Amino acid sequence: MPTTQEDAMNITAATPVEIDTVLADIYARRGVSLAALDGAKRGIYRALGNRLTGRQRVILTAADVQTFRARVAEDERFGYREGHYLRAFDQATEQLQLLAAEEEPLHAEHARRPWSRFFLVVGGHIHSSMNCSTCNRNGKATAFAWLPELSGLTEEEAVAAQGAILCTTCYPSAPLAWTNFYDQEAERKAALYCSGSGTTDWKDGKVRNGFHSGNGGYCSHCSGWAGTTSRYSSTIRKHKPAASAELSRGA
Q: Could you tell me the residue ranges of all domains in the chain?
A: 1-113, 116-191, 194-251
Amino acid (one-letter) located at 233: S
Is residue 239 a contact partner of residue 193, using CB atoms and an 8 Å limit? Answer: yes
Please, what sign has the CA dihedral across residues 214, 215, 220, 222?
A: negative
What is residue 40's predicted lDDT score, i.e. its pLDDT? 96
Quick one: average pLDDT of 22-29? 95
Residue-wise pLDDT for 200-209, tens only, equals 999 989 999 8
What is residue 98's predicted lDDT score, i.e. its pLDDT? 97
What is residue 246's predicted lDDT score, i.e. its pLDDT? 47
pLDDT of 22 > 90? The answer is yes
Quick one: average pLDDT of 89-95? 97
pLDDT of 251 > 50? The answer is no
* Dist CA 242 CA 218 (whole Å): 10
Query: Which pLDDT band holds residue 57 (cuts at 50, 70, 90)?
Result: confident
pLDDT of 5 > 60? The answer is no
Rounded to whole angstroms, what are the CA distances from 4 to 7, 109, 111? 5, 16, 21
What is residue 1's predicted lDDT score, i.e. its pLDDT? 36
What is residue 31's predicted lDDT score, i.e. its pLDDT? 92
* Dist CA 1 CA 78 (whole Å): 42
The verdict on pTM exceeding 0.75 is no
Is residue 72 a contact partner of residue 86, using CB atoms and an 8 Å limit? Answer: yes
Q: What is the mean pLDDT of the chain?
A: 86
